[in-house]
Structure 1
Amino acid sequence: MRLPLSYTPPDLQAERTGTVRRRQVFFIPGYDPEARTRYRLLFVRELLRHAKRFGDPRPDISPATLSADGILQSWTVGPDEGRVATAYDVLLWDDLVARDFRRPRVLSVLLLVVGTLHALVRGLIWRFYRLNWLYGNVVIYPFVMVVLLSALSLAIGTLVHAHLGDWFGHSLGWPPWVTLPLAVVAGIAWIVAIEALLNRFFFWQLLNDWVFNWQHGNGWRRDYAARLDVFADRILARLAEAEARGERPDEVMIVGHSTGGLTAAEVAARLLARAPDLGTGDTAFCLATLGSALPIVAAQPFARHVRGDVAALVASRRIVWLDVQAPQDWMNFPGFNPVLDLGLPLAGGPIANPLVRSAQVRDILTPETYAKVRLKPFRMHFQFLLANERPGPYDYFRMVLGPQFLRDRAIRPIVAELAPAAPQAGG
């Protein structure tokens, strides 16, 4: 893990004059089987908290609509003091994630073992540890758990077989053709019995997440690659619809969180290739990756297609890419810079991206909250999308709803002030 978390590329896009009046946000969640319910509720709850804490007007949030194919979830936030007119679209791929979760558990475990051993042989695990030892632990955690669970299952099965068979003088003396199947059942049954506990410790979530990233890095996720193309098509269609209504946005922002940070980068690269005018006119084109796990895939030796997409973003002055990181987050890579760490084929061309900034989590939370959540990895990982408790340069809702262009917010952020405390009764 390397610090400091600050980098401004030498060929960054020139500053734009004026402020944003209308923004189109496309949010891409991470590897989450419940995305279509989670992120709408999270957005509304946290925006209301943000408005209360900072004294903003109560936001005017429209009801959410879902496209017929279940890929696009949309709502708007009306313009008011401190906010711009924002169309907020969530691009969903949770159906692909849910399909992974429906795989036979034995197959998922087998894929995990093969993928982890492959990563160990190729030296990838050690590279992840060098980039962030906490994320290295997250990656290896499901594999270690599988080894431990298998060893305990073997021990339980062996004890059942011994006590039901004729290994001990006081045992029942049942024949092996009875005791061996019962031993296998016992070895499996206890794992089924602790299913809720495994879910509480995110075992299956992290197992399937790693398997997905390993498969994607090797180019084996055609369903996901097809969804990337669909996302790019939907974004272009939405922008064409806004143009036809006379509601061209001043800024188009693609936001990706966690694994969705990589997804957002891949979609943005497709848009640069398909829409040569995007980012050249009055509309700014931006990418914000929050707590991104991009190296998990991009560092894999066969992920040349991903590194090609990242290289296109790095070299393009048509897009502003802000990558926000946090040392307290176990599931990102603080200090990672694709320009320095991926060996991209830049061939001496311009380096226009990314801007790398810290979320400064310790500063935007109260000390009490920070003490409660600092050892809760998933809670800390989601802080990128939650309302600040204290003012700071990183503020999710100022970023997606405020009047500053993303480039300006990264370079010279306007930091909000907390609302004055309510007077105490009886004073």
Structure 2
Amino acid sequence: MSAGRTPQGDGQGPLVRRRKVFYIPGYDPMPPRRYRELYRTEGAEQARISGYELALSPRSGRDKTSDGALGFGWQVTAQIDGHETRSDVEVLVWSDIVQGSMAPTIAQTYWQMVRTAWIYISTGTLRRLMWLRKGPVIAALYPVGMLLLQAVLAFVVALLIAQIGQAGVNQLGFTSDMVDAATAFLFWGAGLFAAAALMRWFRQQDGRLFAYYLMHDYAHSAALRGAYAPELEQRIALFAGEIATVLGDPAYDEVLVVGHSSGAHVGVSVLADVQKTGLGVRHASLGFLSLGQVVPMVSFLPEAHRLRRDLRDLAGRGDLCWVDVTAPGDGCAFALCDPVAVSGVSPSEKRWPLVVSAAFTQTLSPARWAALRWRFFRLHFQYLCAFDQPGEYDYFQITAGPHTLESRYRNRKPSRSRIDVTASKYTSVGD
């Protein structure tokens, strides 16, 4: 969207002079600085393409909780459509929880694989997920297949060393039972040592293969069969308290919560808790932007009562705007799947989310799309990046521009390709 193009909404209502953005990352063990650098580089590129001005600066003060869970952020000043807007961006950090959930040993990761596969298969959840989109299910099966392949290759290496060693000894004419037993022990030991070294090498290469990373991600979601772990519940409560406080701050015209990937369902529960806090005087408009969501991976599990209840409650609220953006080109997301409807928890008066497409095949030039098409993990982050043929979705105008999320999408119709039928076997909300 160029600077002179009218936003999708009618553009009516007060303009945003100052905004607070809370960004909730997905399952990511990396420190939040990576998101600041991503915003800085991609924002500058989008501003160049679309003809507006965007500048980042360090945030004054630290505003951290006592345990350091919150507080990393930056400020953005934008000049768009002749209006200046300042946005304070804060990353709601749960990377420490992610790091703690990652199995420290190779053996523990393989146990996670077996347990997670059993949960998804035995509950019928995997089959139901395949009804929606095969892309994210294939992405979920990828770490299983890759880890099994690595184990098979390691076993083959051990077997070859043992057999070649034994054959070499036999050619020398040593054929007694004692020699055979000793050489078998020796060469199988050498083979197993080489196999273990190969397995460690595979894990060192996981920055390119993503097998261990994705396995830990899915195992974390399924560990309690869809229920949140106590440490995540505590962090959600912290996030909700932070957002509730800012909503009462007259300095802000809009409070915008952005949840990416697994951060989308965390954001759902955070905002559901915000709505339950009994807000006093509220000065800011509240928006929720979910990007590349994988909500069904959790909400379809049998014990996900809390998440399903939060989805139901948030979908009926009239005091916020929830826009869900995905793209069929993103094989890691449940593209255009209404997370409330497919989970089977739509309230009688359902308002949200508004499901729209980022349309990668249209908003990325043919050359850019060809370069990114098979880089699945990179495409999953495209929602946070610049588009060289921008359409109505512009992450930087939404988070730093003069219009609220509600005004930008006020007249937008949901995608005609959206999936909004119940697919989950489990729909209980635990009331």
**Same fold by TM-score greater than 0.5:** yes
**Residue by residue, what CA displacement relative to the aligned partner does 1:140-185 show, whole Å, maximum 9, x if unpaired?**
1111122222222222222222233469733774444433333322
CA distance in 2, matches of 1:300, 1:306: 10
Q: TM-score, normalised to structure 2's length?
A: 0.84
Residue 270 of structure 2, aligned match among 253, 263, 267: 267
Q: In the alignment, does 2:336 pair up with 1:335?
A: yes
Find the residue that maps to 2:256 and give its secondary structure. strand
Residue 44 of structure 1, aligned match among 16, 40, 48: 40
Q: In the alignment, does 2:267 pair up with 1:258?
A: no
Counterpart for residue 370 of structure 1: 369
| Aligned pairs, number | 391
Counterpart for residue 34 of structure 1: 30
Read off the aligned partner of 1:229 and give its amino acid letter: A
CA distance in 1, matches of 2:259, 2:83: 23
Contiguous gaps of at least 5 residues in structure 2: 1-9, 175-179, 413-431
Find the residue that maps to 1:265 and give its secondary structure. helix
Q: TM-score, normalised to structure 1's length?
A: 0.85
C-alpha contact 1:216 1:297 (8 A) present in aligned 2: no
* Distance change (3 Å), C-alpha of 1:228 and 1:290: same
Matches of residues 200-215 of structure 1 in structure 2 within 5 Å?
Answer: 200-215=208-223
Matches of residues 216-231 of structure 1 in structure 2 within 5 Å?
Answer: 217-219=225-227, 221-231=229-239
* Distance change (3 Å), C-alpha of 1:214 and 1:65: farther
TM-superposed CA distance for 1:199, in Å, is: 2.7
Contiguous gaps of at least 5 residues in structure 1: 1-13, 414-427
C-alpha contact 2:244 2:279 (8 A) present in aligned 1: no
Which piece of structure 1 moves more, 156-165 or 24-33?
156-165
C-alpha contact 1:142 1:203 (8 A) present in aligned 2: yes
C-alpha contact 1:134 1:331 (8 A) present in aligned 2: yes
TM-superposed CA distance for 1:19, in Å, is: 2.5
Matches of residues 387-402 of structure 1 in structure 2 within 5 Å?
Answer: 387-402=386-401
Counterpart for residue 116 of structure 2: 115
* Distance change (3 Å), C-alpha of 1:228 and 1:58: closer
Counterpart for residue 50 of structure 2: 54
Matches of residues 15-164 of structure 1 in structure 2 within 5 Å?
Answer: 17-63=13-59, 66=62, 67=64, 69-78=68-77, 80=79, 81-101=82-102, 103-164=104-165
* Distance change (3 Å), C-alpha of 1:123 and 1:404: same
CA distance in 1, matches of 2:359, 2:228: 36
Counterpart for residue 196 of structure 2: 188
C-alpha contact 1:307 1:344 (8 A) present in aligned 2: yes
Counterpart for residue 417 of structure 1: none
CA distance in 1, matches of 2:384, 2:60: 18
CA distance in 1, matches of 2:401, 2:377: 27
C-alpha contact 1:217 1:298 (8 A) present in aligned 2: no
CA distance in 2, matches of 1:160, 1:46: 50
Which piece of structure 1 moves more, 159-168 or 126-135?
159-168
CA distance in 2, matches of 1:345, 1:275: 23
C-alpha contact 1:29 1:35 (8 A) present in aligned 2: no
Which piece of structure 1 moves more, 364-373 or 69-78?
69-78
CA distance in 1, matches of 2:115, 2:362: 41
**Residue by residue, what CA displacement relative to the aligned partner does 1:183-203 show, whole Å, maximum 9, x if unpaired?**
322222212233343331211
Find the residue that maps to 2:356 and give its secondary structure. strand
TM-superposed CA distance for 1:345, in Å, is: 6.5
Which piece of structure 1 moves more, 301-310 or 150-159?
150-159
Which piece of structure 1 moves more, 44-53 or 190-199?
190-199
C-alpha contact 2:87 2:400 (8 A) present in aligned 1: yes
Find the residue that maps to 1:46 and give its secondary structure. helix
Counterpart for residue 5 of structure 2: none
Instruction: Kindly report the root-mean-square deviation, in angstroms, between the aligned alpha carbons of the 2 structures.
Output: 2.5
Find the residue that maps to 2:23 and give its secondary structure. strand
